[in-house]
Structure 1
Amino acid sequence: MDIPEVTETDLADLILRVARQLRRANADELAGTPLNPHQARALRLVARLEPVRMADLAERLHVAPRSATDVVEVLVGGGWVERTADPMDGRSRVVRLTSAGQGLVAEVDAARARAASQVLAPLGPADRASVASGLRAATDAAGPRSLT
């Protein structure tokens, strides 16, 4: 069986289309939670990095520190994270999940899994393995900044 040639731009377009489908499905699934996609991403980053300094969170979110502060304010207001003094530098603040935040992370992760399942359902195990392998190679080549 001949495999049709796919140009780099064709492949890039397909990746972007799937990424848009994933974002849309993720937003639809998150509609059942109190967070929008940007807030959910921040919450997941806090969970993965905690305790995380505000400046590091802003960098990982690729936003200005003030924008990260705005997102964290929403998360603090919901009772999902708390800000405390950085034990290494009392002038800085770190963010940690609360027990309510841990529960919400599980809810957000389940929503993301449902969205991914919906969008990626047409791919069989071999296709998934092949796509994952190729995308890992591309992200590894891009360096550590691509992992945020």
Structure 2
Amino acid sequence: MPSQSHPEVSAPEAPADRVPDARLLTDAVTRLRRALRASIRSEYPWEKLPMAQVELLQVLGEHSPARIGDLATRQRLAASTVSGLIGQMITSGLVAREVDPADRRASVVTLTEAGREQLTSWTQAHERRLDAAVHALDDDERAAVAAALPALFHLAEYLGEPPGGGTAD
């Protein structure tokens, strides 16, 4: 696919007492996350799930069944926040609450078939959109993105994100 013309993006100057790369990286990550969230809506306009629910579906797709507290820890959210989101997702039929077979006093959350279908559909739309964007880059830019991925994962681990615990937008 031929490369599209890209407007030059000027990054803001960093204050003298801060590391310029840290500010630029923060700006790039913020802009990329915002663009990913907005672009999925153009590819998947019928999608009305809040990103917090999509991220919970993603975690449950990898780690199911799970307790509310474990989901909260993994997502770095308050248990009450996750509980509220899960309640909404139960009402929508995306997840179910069941008795924990390991501790009958506790409950776990699992994806329903509708939740799996929703997650699969969202993931496929997201991957199509991201693939198109990456393929719009020139060869050097694509290579730079691919080369940066291991370092970005290591940076996330250094900042406290457990390996395999992250979610894509």
Task: String of CA shifts for 1:45-101, please: whole Å, max 9, x gaps.
Answer: 111111111111111222110110111111111112111111112222111111111
Q: Secondary structure at the match of 1:92?
A: strand
Which residue does the alignment assign to 1:3?
A: none
1:116 to 124, 130, 146: 130
1:142 deviation in Å? 3.9
Which residue does the alignment assign to 1:101?
A: 115
**Number of corresponding residues:** 143
1:13 deviation in Å? 2.6
Which residue does the alignment assign to 1:145?
A: 161
Question: AA paired with 2:161?
Answer: R
1:21 to 32, 35, 41: 35
1:83 to 97, 117, 128: 97
Structure 2: state its 5+ residue gaps. Answer: 1-10, 12-19
Q: Secondary structure at the match of 2:97?
A: strand
More deviation in 38-47 or 110-119?
110-119
Q: Secondary structure at the match of 1:90?
A: strand
CA change 1:29–1:109 in 2 (3 A) is same
Question: AA paired with 2:105?
Answer: R
Q: Secondary structure at the match of 1:83?
A: strand
Task: String of CA shifts for 1:90-139, please: whole Å, max 9, x gaps.
Answer: 22211111111111111111232243235434324553343233232132
1:40 aligns with 2:54: yes
CA change 1:23–1:36 in 2 (3 A) is same
Question: AA paired with 2:101?
Answer: P
Structure 1: state its 5+ residue gaps. Answer: 1-5
CA change 1:78–1:142 in 2 (3 A) is closer
Structure 1 length-normalised TM: 0.79
Q: In structure 1, how many angstroms separate the alpha carbons of the residues matched to 2:132 and 2:29? A: 16
More deviation in 119-128 or 48-57?
119-128
Q: Secondary structure at the match of 2:161?
A: helix
Question: AA paired with 1:13?
Answer: D
CA change 1:90–1:125 in 2 (3 A) is farther
Give the 4+ runs in structure 1 shifted more than 6 A: none
1:23 deviation in Å? 2.1
More deviation in 136-145 or 96-105?
136-145
CA RMSD of aligned residues (A): 2.5
Question: AA paired with 1:55?
Answer: G
- Give the share of equivalent positions with the same residue, in percent: 28
More deviation in 56-65 or 117-126?
117-126
Q: Give yes or no for contact 1:86–1:92 (8 Å, CA) kept in 2.
A: yes
